[in-house]
Amino acid sequence: MYQINYNQPVHVHFIGIGGISMSGLAAVLLKEGFTVSGSDAKESSLTTWLAGLGASIAYGQTASNITEDIDVVVYTAAIHPDNPEFAAAREKGLPMLSRAELLGQLMRNYSMPVAVAGTHGKTTTTSMLTHLMMAGELDPTISVGGILRSIGGNIRLGSSEVFLTEACEYTNSFLELAPKIGIILNIEADHLDFFKDLDDIRHSFRLFAGKIPADGTLIIESGIPGLDFFTDGLPCRVVTYGLHEGGCHAADISYDAQGFASFTFVKDGVPAGRYRLSVPGEHNVSNAVAALAAGSLLSIPYEKMAEGLLSFEGTDRRFEKKGEVSGITVVDDYAHHPTEIEATLRAAGHYPGNTIWCVFQPHTYSRTRSLMDDFVKALSLADKVVLADIYAARETDDHSVSSDMLREKLAAKGKDVWYFPTFREIEDFLMENCAPGDLVITMGAGDIVKVGEELLKR
């Protein structure tokens, strides 16, 4: 495979450079003195930003964009072989790297690469660890899967040997990475349009754990079923963590009126400081313990880690308060897996308010179909549920599953639940039925956020 070497900058061309992840990787290379070009369908704030950093951007993807001076081409999984630039690069015999392969290549240029993996919680935990590193003045380079306001986007360009990134399991992308510290938050059934079943997913996470070298460390949640499967025979050090148990865990957890937790971090049986969060929910205590376990490995002083955690107020679309209108609070959350939904709704239970309205947009037909009963159980934690159509994402509707089917199952459980095929109908319904003091949570990985934003406008 082509090897990116910071000591030998070359010309890298990105097909789809305006994507949130691709743009961040392009910015890293620009900082390291590489020549960067790329193409995208249309101009955006990200392409404008990259152009300001020195990238050459073409709008529209044509074979002529693959010029003779390009040394390597980077593409995303969304780019197909019939893409004119992809086809031209292959015809010229240019080295080609997927986005995940490039990320792995970049990590190899740092002596302390850190990767956060897990079915859910990756963005939040990576963001928490970002705040710990910045409070500890580690000056890291960071690639996070969401917009983190404290770094002004999804990328931070540092000057140290520390590189922090999320490690996504979809299409086994995380197997291209080379972490010195690897974190596994949880392992559950998801992305079943790619993985055959849960055993297939577990096998991939074991391979990820095996990528950590002998002088590295795996930090893994102690409650993952069959933990020994992931840890037995690893050459690296293993640190377990958990909410209440593990080598690192939380003790004396309490919550304030907003649902923000305070807790004692316990490491190897010894209390190591008292911490307070500025994000709600028990699941975020667990995320914080994972981040603290990594921070202690990086020798960040405990008082600095406490300062960093307190400063973290969330990322976009993770229990993000959008505003209030007529006494109704509108929150948006990215949760699209049953476990994430349950965690978010339990966190909402600590939030001041009367009725909790969950406005949910299922994400992908395969996930909705395979986890239907789990969705019913999780959504039942809301007082009232409003369903939008399934967000297709990368899939095609085969009419085997629908949001109305989910409505029927929830109604059979006695829940107050409604389904509307358009956002406008959802907005009208909420305007007519929500009361002052209610909490409305728009939830899903698609574009359901627009409903809350429109409510605030109206």
pLDDT in tens, the chain (458 residues): 789 999 999 999 999 999 888 999 999 999 999 999 999 989 998 999 999 999 999 999 999 999 999 999 999 877 889 999 999 999 999 999 999 999 999 999 999 999 999 998 898 999 999 999 999 999 999 988 777 888 877 889 899 999 999 998 988 989 999 899 999 999 988 887 788 999 999 999 999 999 999 999 999 999 999 999 999 999 999 999 999 999 999 999 999 877 889 999 999 999 999 999 998 888 899 999 999 999 999 999 999 999 999 999 876 677 788 999 888 999 999 889 898 899 889 888 877 668 999 999 999 999 999 999 999 999 999 999 999 999 998 788 888 999 999 999 999 999 999 999 999 999 999 999 999 999 999 999 899 999 999 999 98
Catalytic residue, candidates 85, 122, 124, 339:
122
Q: Are 117 and 173 in contact (CB under 8 A)?
A: no
Which residue's structure tokens are 């999320």?
166
Per-residue model confidence (pLDDT) at position 51: 97
Annotation says 122 is catalytic: yes
Per-residue model confidence (pLDDT) at position 1: 75
Annotation says 123 is catalytic: yes
Measured at the CA of 255, the angle between CA 342 and CA 123, to 5 degrees, comes to 50
Annotation says 364 is catalytic: no
DSSP conformational letter for 391:
B
Tell if the pTM clears 0.95, that is, is over it.
no
Q: Are 241 and 221 in contact (CB under 8 A)?
A: yes
Calculate helix-pair angle for 99-107, 20-31, nearest 10 degrees: 40
**Mind listing the domains of the chain with CATH numbers?**
11-99 (3.40.50.720), 110-311 (3.40.1190.10), 320-457 (3.90.190.20)
Catalytic residue, candidates 166, 221, 320, 427:
166
Strand order from edge to edge, sheet including 320-325: 320-325, 328-333, 439-443, 356-360, 384-387, 416-419
Catalytic residue, candidates 47, 119, 123, 217:
123
Per-residue model confidence (pLDDT) at position 316: 66
Q: Are 278 and 285 in contact (CB under 8 A)?
A: no
How many other β-carbons are positioned within 10 Å of the β-carbon of residue 286? Answer: 24
The two three-digit tokens of residue 164, written as one number? 């922090």
Q: CA-to-CA distance for 317 and 443, rounded, in angstroms?
A: 9
For 116, residues 6+ apart whose C-beta sits below 8 A from its C-beta are 122, 125, 126, 129, 164, 165, 166, 167, 183, 185, 290
Q: What is the dihedral of CA 242, 243, 248, 250, to 10 degrees?
A: 180
Integer-rounded Cα Rg, in Å, for the chain is: 22
The two three-digit tokens of residue 286, written as one number? 């667990």
Which residue's structure tokens are 């740092």?
110
Measured at the CA of 132, the angle between CA 129 and CA 137, to 5 degrees, comes to 125
For 152, residues 6+ apart whose C-beta sits below 8 A from its C-beta are none
